[in-house]
């Protein structure tokens, strides 16, 4: 079994166990994988349409834009003048220099919309 498949199987088992326990208190535990998986795919498509790099992973356009969008004060979480380029030493795997608050708002909205859609779907089929 691949590492990714093993991780998915583990998450599913843990979620089922925790959900079973939570139901006793009239609560639910759900794994919302679309939050990352589908939003990353949709964001890559948007970046491609805008002519921006799509080989983004950690601390690239997606992540940096998401933080820029929720900053209440410039430089609160992202210091634009100190952004690192992709480098294994810094952990940056993408192009944060292209990040914008606008892209962050789009990305954050995608994650919320996809999460709500998946939550509603999971609740509907597991009643």
Segment 34-84, tens digit of pLDDT? 998 999 999 999 999 999 999 998 999 999 999 999 999 999 999 988 888
Q: Are residues 22 and 40 in the same domain?
A: no
Q: Are residues 27 and 72 in the same domain?
A: no
Q: Are residues 26 and 38 in the same domain?
A: no
Number of domains making up the chain? 2
Q: Are residues 4 and 63 in the same domain?
A: no
Residue 37 domain boundaries: 33-125
Q: Are residues 97 and 48 in the same domain?
A: yes
In the three-class reduction of DSSP (H, G, I as helix; E, B as strand; rest coil), residue 92 is classed as strand
The residues pairing with 87 across neighbouring beta strands, listed in sequence order, are 92
| pTM for this entry | 0.85
Tokens of 115: 């999460």
């Amino acid at each position: 079994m691949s590492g990714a498949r093993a991780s998915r199987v583990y998450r599913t088992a843990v979620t089922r166990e925790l959900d079973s326990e939570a139901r006793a208190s009239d609560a639910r535990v759900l794994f919302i994988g679309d939050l990352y998986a589908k939003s990353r795919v949709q964001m890559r498509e948007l970046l491609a349409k805008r002519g921006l790099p799509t080989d983004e992973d950690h601390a690239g356009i997606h992540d940096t834009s998401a933080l820029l969008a929720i900053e209440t004060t410039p430089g609160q979480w992202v210091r634009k003048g100190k952004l690192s380029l992709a480098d294994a030493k810094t952990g940056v795997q993408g192009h944060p220099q292209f990040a914008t608050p606008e892209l962050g708002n789009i990305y954050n909205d995608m994650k919320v919309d996809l999460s709500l859609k998946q939550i509603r779907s999971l609740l509907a089929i597991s009643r």
